[in-house]
Amino acid sequence: MRRSISLRLSVWYASAATITLAVLFAVGYQLLESYLVHGLDQLIAAEFRQVRARLGPHYRQLSARDVNQRIQATSGYDSVLFYIDVRAPQDDAIFASKNLDGRWMPEVADRHGYSATLPGIGRLRIEEFALPPFVVLIGTSSQQIYEDLDGYVEICVGLLAAMFGVSTLIGFALSRVALRPVRLIRETALRIGSDNLRERIPVSGVRDEIAELARLLNQMFDRLESSFNAIRRFTAEASHELKTPLSLIRLQAEKLLMKGELSVECEESVQMQLEELARLSRIIEELLFLSRAEARVITLRLTVECPRAFLGAFAQDARVLAEHRGRCFELHCVGDGRVLFEPQRIRQVLLNLLVNALNASPAGGRVRMCSEISNGCWRVSLEDQGPGIAAADRERVFERFVRLDKRALDEQGSGLGLAICRSIVELHRGRIWCEPACAGGGLKVTFVIPADALSMPEPVSASGWAEAHGTPGAVGT
């Protein structure tokens, strides 16, 4: 599965933004808590000042009973807000406010202000004051503060979830914009192939890393184009240059034969030379065709044809050829329509596929051709009962001079047939591939061309074509 950089960037962006906000919320929680607790501490301190004022400056001379009575008088009205307990040295209880219901507030060593939970009362903020020889503990409920802080946490969690969602969307949109030049590079690079080496990646005026990458790729394509052109020129020129001396040799050999002065042995040898010369000429013609097709200098003579009639005529020849080789040939046509193609070239494709299939089929074997017109495409397949081709070689056989079994197959073959078929089909903006035959062993070679080749957009990439015309995923590229 392809992993999208846009998606990853947006998740990273959203995570970073959400984590930053979470840290801010946590700091906010701490600040808010200490601010609210500080407010409670101030209230408690005010209450202590009131208690101390009530006891007066000479409180040390007061009896425990007097102390109790005076504090009682002060704290009576404040019992809704404050919990007070006063202790003498050695923890002798002097006073405990009524709202404590006989409980004692806990003391924490070395701390003057702390929080504690009292059963039946709840969470308290407690302050410890020294009023020698007494210790005064005053507490007030901090329940409301923590309820408010819980509300704060709930709001923060909601905001964080919203932040993650919104920042994912913003991050995705931003990364799409930022990665647009990369997508452009990808799309152009996909279109550039051996048959379309002139196109270049558009380079933006901004001097950034992506523009630099596009420039480097363009330089690489320049080098590739010039080497491809050099190879093509060499093939075309070599084939062209070889044609004339070969014709001369053939003429000389034919002259020798016509004179009739040769011994039987010499005549046989000249005949053999003529056969080999014919084969060599054919290879040269085919190589010339391939290099011209690659250079896109071949113009098809397209005509609107009825595939059923065209294949019907081809089937007559195919049956004769098959019978001659001791095999049988069948044709099945599905769907009617008109297709734009060059009959002579498509016939060349069919003939090569047929000869291959007859070569591979066992004696008495059946070669079946199926034609179908549907979804604006013409699909032709040829199926045989031969040994088939291993998956690893199915794409290789479309390369030049690839012959898998030189002994079993026709020795006259040069291994250029399928390469030529692919060139012709691609000139018709189509695709050709092979796969195992549907019934048992054997090979099925299929080609598909758009019914109206002219309506196809200018050079399509292999994958683009396959997507647009729904050829199977197994299609080799």
Ligand X SMILES: Nc1ncnc2c1ncn2[C@@H]1O[C@H](COP(=O)(O)OP(=O)(O)OP(=O)(O)O)[C@@H](O)[C@H]1O
Task: Please give the torsion angle defined by the CA atoms of residues 8, 10, 14 and 17, in that order, rounded to the nearest 10 degrees.
Answer: 110
Using the contact rule CB under 5 A, the part of the chain among 37-45, 262-270, 287-295, 345-353 near Mg ion is 345-353
384 binds, among ligand X, Mg ion, none (CB under 5 to 8 A by kind): ligand X
CA distance 351 to 357: 10
The answer to whether 450 contacts ligand X (rule: CB under 6 A) is: no
Which one of 9-17, 240-248, 308-316, 409-417 is the stretch in contact with ligand X (CB under 6 A)?
409-417
* Span interacting with ligand X, options 82-90, 255-263, 299-307, 382-390, rule CB under 6 A: 382-390
Is residue 362 a contact point for ligand X (CB under 6 A)? no
Q: Assign 124 to helix, strand or coil.
A: strand
In the set 343, 415, 436, 459, which binds ligand X (CB under 6 A)? Answer: 415
423 binds Mg ion (CB under 5 A): no
Contacts with 115 (C-beta within 8 Å, 6 or more apart), sequence order = 37, 123, 124, 125, 126, 142
Closest C-alpha to 303, from 337, 269, 338: 338
* The entry of ligand X, Mg ion, none that residue 416 binds, CB within 5 to 8 Å by partner kind: ligand X
Nearer to Mg ion, 67 or 443 (CB): 443
Which residue lies nearer to ligand X by CB, 96 or 389? Answer: 389
The only residue of 6, 235, 291, 356 in contact with Mg ion, by rule CB under 5 A: 356
Quick check: 417 binds Mg ion (CB under 5 A)? yes
Stretch that binds ligand X, among 37-45, 125-133, 202-210, 396-404 (CB under 6 A): 396-404
Comparing CA positions, the residue from 158, 127, 155 lying closest to residue 140 is 127
Closest CB to ligand X among residues 46, 439: 439
Kindly state the smallest distance separating residue 350's Cβ from Mg ion, in Å: 12
Residue 300 binding ligand X, by CB under 6 A: no
| Residue number, nearest CB to ligand X | 417
Instruction: For strands 122-131 and 92-96, give the pairing.
Output: unpaired
Determine if 389 is a binding residue for ligand X (CB under 6 A).
Answer: yes
Query: Under the criterion CB under 6 A, does residue 367 sit at the interface with ligand X?
Result: no
By CB under 6 A, the residues from 320 to 359 that bind ligand X are 352, 356-357
CB 174 within 8 A of CB 197: no
**Closest distance to Mg ion from the beta carbon of 418 (Å):** 6
Residues 252-281 that bind Mg ion (CB under 5 A): none
Q: Is 386 in the site for Mg ion (CB under 5 A)?
A: no
466: contact with ligand X by CB under 6 A: no
Residue 234, classed as helix, strand or coil, is helix
Q: In what order do the strands lie in the sheet with 92-96?
A: 92-96, 82-88, 134-141, 122-131, 113-118
Query: Helices in 179-208 by DSSP H: which ranges?
Result: 180-191
Which residues lie below 8 Å from residue 43, measured CB to CB, with a gap of 6+? 81, 140
Q: 58 Cβ partners below 8 Å, 6+ apart?
A: none
The reply on whether position 156 binds ligand X by CB under 6 A is no
Give the shortest CB-384-to-ligand X separation in angstroms.
5
Kindly tell me which of 92 and 393 has the beta carbon lying closer to ligand X: 393
Amino acid at 460: V
Residues 339, 312, 409, 238: what is their CA dihedral angle, to the nearest 10 degrees? Answer: -50
Stretch that binds ligand X, among 35-43, 312-320, 328-336, 399-407 (CB under 6 A): 399-407
Write out the DSSP string of 386-407: S----GGGTTGGGSTT--S-TT
Kindly give, in sequence order, each residue whose CB lies less than 8 Å from that of residue 228, ignoring residues fewer than 6 positions away: 194, 197
Would you tell me how many other CB atoms lie within 10 Å of the CB of residue 468? 14
Work out which of 145, 284, 418, 432 binds ligand X, going by CB under 6 A: 418
* Residue 95 in tokens: 């006073």
For residue 22, how far is the Cα from the chain centroid? 32
Q: Does 361 bind Mg ion (CB under 5 A)?
A: no
288 binds, among ligand X, Mg ion, none (CB under 5 to 8 A by kind): none
What does 389 bind: Mg ion, ligand X, none (CB cut-off 5 to 8 Å by kind)? ligand X
Residues that bind ligand X (CB under 6 A): 352, 356-357, 360, 384, 386-387, 389, 397, 402-405, 409, 413-419, 443
Residues that bind Mg ion (CB under 5 A): 352, 356, 417
